Each structure stands twice: as C-alpha cells, then as structure tokens.
Structure 1
Amino acid sequence: MTGESEAASGAEPPVVVKVGGAKAVDPAGAVGDVANLAANGRAVVVVHGGSTVVDETLERLGIEPEYVESASGVTGRFTDAETMEAFAMAMAGKLNTELTAQFRSAGVDAVGLSGVDGGLLAGPRKSAVRVVEDGKKKIRRGDHSGTIESVNADLLAGLLDDGYTPVVSPPMAGDEGDGEVTPVNADADRAAAAVAGALGADLVLLTDVSGVYADPDDPETRIDSAATPGELAAVEDAAEGFMGKKVMAATEALEGGSGRVVIADANVRDPVVAALGGEGTTIERSALADDDAGGETGDADETEGIDA
C-alpha cells in the first residue's frame, strides 16, 4: 500500500495518527475515532509518544531526567545507557502494550510494534550530540539516540492489507556501524512523520492545543492552513517550544511523501475526524518549495528526544 497506488485507485490514503505523550493528552478520543475509521475501511497507523510515562519511570528508579538544547535550539532528551533502559521499559514494555490493549478493547485489530521490530524504524545511532550548555556549544557523548533513515513500509502495508492497525512506538533500531543493532531513542513526532512519508499517508499530530498560534498565548490566533511556502514560513516562525518540533516533523512528512499534515487538539470530540475535516492547522504538500519535495529530511545535529 503506497501513496501512488492509493492515488491511482482513487481510494483515500492511509492516515497516520500521532498520539502525544504528555499528561495533558487524553488518548481516549483518538481510540474511539480510530476504531470508527478502521471499521469503515480506512487504513490507520497509530504512533505514540510517552514523555510523561518515561519521566515517571525514571523517577521511580531514582534517575533524574535530563533534557538538552541542540545547537539549533531544539530541546530533547539526553538518553544515557541507564535512561535508555528505562525508556525501553516504559515505551515498548508498558505504554505500547497498554495502548494496544485499549484499541483492542474498542474493537480495533491492533498490533503493537516498536521501531526495532522488523527494522520498522531504522537509522544510525548517534552516540555524540552537539548541545548548548551555559551559552556554549559542547559535544556530549554516551547518548542513545538515532536519526530515522528508513521505514519498513512493506511490513506496515502487509499488516494494513490484512486488516490490522499497527500501533508503533520508539525505540528505533540504531545501526552501530558494524552490523550491530541497538535500541535507541527517537522523537515520536518525527517517527510518525517518517511513517506517513513512507506510506504516502495523511498525518494527524494530536497534541494538547488546537494548532499553531500566531500568538502562542492566544488560541484565537490559530493559523488554520498553510498551502504556500510563504504561509509555511509564517507557521514556522510562529511555532515555539514543543510546537517547533511538531512543525519540523510536519515538513519532514511532506518532504517524504505525505499529502498533508494536521496539527490538532487530541482532547476534542472525534479528534482525528475533526482534524481531517479542517479543525487544526493544516499544512499542505503545496506549501513546500519545489526543491524541497522528496528531499532529504532530518538534521544529524539535532537531539532526538521524546515529544512533549
């Protein structure tokens, strides 16, 4: 199931739904919505974050979460070996299993997968990252993060064709460069973007606000759509903090082959259907500059933390 084959058949493209990992994001609405979409024949892939659960797991283990700022101003989790162990426990072991069970309870034939399974999300491990500390650029070593460079779209397409709904979470399969694969952290928004691009799917990024605001403190200033490079630039300029990473992910999805991306509120009724109907900030593929479509995505210098 690819974007080209869907377009040729006139069928609706798949939908990738990213459910945020922050405590303020309630997945219940998305669960019911995905159940309705799947029951009506729409192919759906769910990707989830888990920042709150990871931090709670670290706290129980007596480990202080550490966030660092990259040279380009993006904040992400620094994942040392101890944190990576807790991350895998929380994401693949606890949260993915629980969320998959919620979908199955709602009648969805859900299959839980981590990015390591089947090489679903793969790329080089980054053991050293460039960070800014006290205004100075430094190299931090011992990180367990990675940049997603490939998606096993055939695995997802096979599951979708057989009527399953994949529920995907980091960690990803990190290539150590010597043939060894290590589970490493990857940002869930960017993971969802990679999946959407590989499938030619629409991407819905659900979060705890209704979209990108021109004034970050005023929901009435939500930017409803971006269909030109100039409008996308305005969205990028307005996005601050965690929203900046979501807009980055949206751009990566479009560059990879997604037709449109919607950043929308997870806590409204029927959040996925509402987002696909225009409730949120919709970024169209036409918003990319011509030389960006199909271009390289990601930044090797960025930290790869979990979404907020």
Structure 2
Amino acid sequence: MTHDAHPHDARDARQTPSRDRASGSRLRTDGGARGGGSARGSDASRPPVVVKVGGARAVDPAGAVADVAELVDSGRAVVVVHGGSTAVDDTLEALGEEPTYVETPGGVVGRFTDERTMEVFSMVMPGKLNTDLTVTLQNAGVDALGLSGVDGGLLTGPRKSAVRVIEDGKKKIKRGDHSGKITAVNGELLELLLAQGYTPVVTVPMLADDGVAVNADADRAAAAVAGAIGGELVVLTDVAGVYADPDDESTLIDSVTTPEEFDALKDAAEGFMTKKVMAANEALDGGATTVIVADANADDPILAALDGDGTHVEASAVADEETNDDEDLEATG
C-alpha cells in the first residue's frame, strides 16, 4: 500500500513505538514469533492489538468485548475497528430504500455508496454503532474512546467518485460514488490516546482529499490502522478462518508464511473473505506484524486467535505482493 497523502502515514507511524499507558515508557513494536507465549500474560512489551469486529448478523461481539477488557487489563494496547454494513442496510430498508451492491471486474462484491446512502451511513456507523460499542466497552471496564476516520484526520486518502463495475456481463463506469481509498493514518493520534490509557474505537467514514466524508471498507481501515502502529491485526468474522475448500471446515489454513502459500490463500478466498485477504496483504505491507482471521463467536475469540487459533498470515508471505487499487468498494462486513 502507498502511504503518501498525510504527514503521519502508516509507514512513518509504525516507526513511532507505542508507549506503556501507565508509565509512558516505550513499547517494542517488533512483535514476537507466533506461539511465543500466552496472550493472557503481562503484555506491556508486545505490539498493539488491532481488532476488527465485523458487522454481520452472525457475529456476536460479546466475547470480543470481554477479551479487549482482559488485554487492556494485562497492559496490552488495543485499538478496536468495527464494521456495520448490516445495520446500514437495515436502516435503508426501514426508510424504504434498497441498498445497492455491485461487482468489480476483479469479482469483488461491495456496496455502491450514493449520496443518500452516505447520509444513512454517517448516521448509523459513527452515530449509533460506534457509540453503542464504546458504551459496551466502557461498561466492561475499558476506557474506550470512539472515533470516526474524520476525527483528527485519522483516516485519509483520495476519493473515488466513479468505480468500474460489471453489469449484465459488461464492464461499465458507475459514477456518483461516495467512497475512497485510505492511504494515510494519523498514527500519532492513536499513539497519543494509547499512551494516555484510552482504547480507541474506530469506524469509517474517512476524510477524502476533497474535504468530504466518504465511505471506506472497514477491513481495509483496520489494515491501515494496524500497519500505522505496527500492530497485530485480528480480523474477527463468522467462520474459523480461511478454508482451502470453503465448503469444508476441516480444511482450515492455519499458517501462511511464504508468497506461494499466500497465493494459495488468495485462490481459496471467496465472497466476503476476498476482502479480508486483501486487507491482510495491505496490513502486512504497511507494517503490521501478523494478521489473524478468526472466529468472532469462539470462546475468548481474540485471546484464542493470539494463542494460535484461526488463519495466521505472516509478513514474509506478502513480501512481493502488490495490492489492487481497483477493488475499493466498501465490503459487507
């Protein structure tokens, strides 16, 4: 991923070590080998955890909330990023409007965000969902602080007012989109909040280069955040990870360490999982230490993922990968 639109972009921010929130001392951001110790120990010396909580109906955030509280209590810095497309769709339908989804030439299905959808999106994501999750974390003992990507220029990048889509088997240009590609993260803002003991709870919209709040993919927002602060990214979804055969849960891919294995991972990913694999690529390319795709509904979902559950993708797997700038529709999770 290219990060050149903000003075505090992902590659610069990852060089600013996290700080222990109680003492102000620096934390290492070089991470450690997977399986090098339980996530339940004292975690003050480990890189921050960025947790992406999905917005699908099948995802129960209760376990993730409890794990965030335990991680924070152990001294681990945590940033939560959440989705919420299901709630946006529900609200649109309650208002008598139909959500619009389109397919890109690369086969990725995502939301087309017209002006009216963007209005509803802004009401639901930072207005309701972010507030609700922040309250839930506060009630769990976490000093959570809600932020949208607009706040403090947290998530910025170019706007894409037109996108390439496939309609009736033909490639077309669809105009009027209110979406963008996150190319920079204000990592200093996140580091400042973490240093003061807060747990940021981040959601899109992002701030586009034309000064307008626009939609962006939540998985890729989490990837950009993880890259900016050199964190471990845990992407929670409604399955146990990425399966070699999407119809067979016994084919879980548990470890991806080489470019060849990453190619196999991309080939295996279908539907919503395609965006999560793309996000893994971007996170690791941007400076994240590890990306884990894991089951949000498992017991202790974040702690279990950090201890080895799910699909673990290491930075060595994407050393030669390039991201696809054309697949920037907002996803469904």
* 1:269 paired to 2:299: yes
Change (3 A) 1:59 1:260: same
State the partner residue of 1:258.
288
State the partner residue of 1:109.
143
Of residues 10-19 and 156-165 in structure 1, the stretch that sits farther from structure 2 once superposed is 10-19
State the partner residue of 2:39.
none
User: What is the CA–CA distance in structure 2 between the aligned matches of 1:256 and 1:25, rounded to whole Å?
Assistant: 27
Letter of the 1:115 partner, please give it.
Answer: G
1:148 aligns with one of 174, 182, 187: 182
Q: How does 1:56-135 map to 2 (within 5 A)?
A: 56-135=90-169
Letter of the 2:130 partner, please give it.
Answer: N
Q: TM-score, normalised by structure 2?
A: 0.87
Q: Is the 8 A contact 2:101 2:110 kept in 1?
A: yes
Unaligned runs of 5+ in 2: 1-12, 18-26, 32-44
User: What is the CA–CA distance in structure 1 between the aligned matches of 2:15 and 2:59, rounded to whole Å?
Assistant: 29
- After TM superposition, give the deviation of residue 230 of structure 1 in Å: 1.0
- After TM superposition, give the deviation of residue 61 of structure 1 in Å: 1.1
Unaligned runs of 5+ in 1: none
2:329 aligns with one of 278, 282, 304: 304
| 1:195 alignment partner, SS class | helix
Q: TM-score, normalised by structure 1?
A: 0.94
* 1:161 paired to 2:195: yes
- After TM superposition, give the deviation of residue 298 of structure 1 in Å: 5.0
Change (3 A) 1:174 1:55: same
- After TM superposition, give the deviation of residue 13 of structure 1 in Å: 0.3
User: What is the CA–CA distance in structure 2 between the aligned matches of 1:63 and 1:16, rounded to whole Å?
Assistant: 34
| 1:255 alignment partner, SS class | helix
Alpha-carbon displacement from aligned partner over 1:193-217 (angstroms, at most 9, x marks no partner): 0000010100000000000001101
State the partner residue of 1:188.
218
Q: Is the 8 A contact 1:252 1:298 kept in 2?
A: no
> Alignment length, in residue pairs?
299
- After TM superposition, give the deviation of residue 281 of structure 1 in Å: 0.3
User: What is the CA–CA distance in structure 2 between the aligned matches of 1:275 and 1:119, rounded to whole Å?
Assistant: 31
State the partner residue of 2:42.
none
Letter of the 2:76 partner, please give it.
Answer: R
State the partner residue of 1:283.
313
- After TM superposition, give the deviation of residue 173 of structure 1 in Å: 0.5
Q: Is the 8 A contact 1:256 1:297 kept in 2?
A: no
| 1:7 alignment partner, SS class | coil
Letter of the 1:248 partner, please give it.
Answer: M
Change (3 A) 1:219 1:158: same
State the partner residue of 2:70.
36
Q: Is the 8 A contact 1:31 1:106 kept in 2?
A: yes
Question: Percent identity of the aligned residues?
Answer: 67
- After TM superposition, give the deviation of residue 9 of structure 1 in Å: 8.6
Q: Is the 8 A contact 2:159 2:179 kept in 1?
A: yes
Change (3 A) 1:228 1:66: same
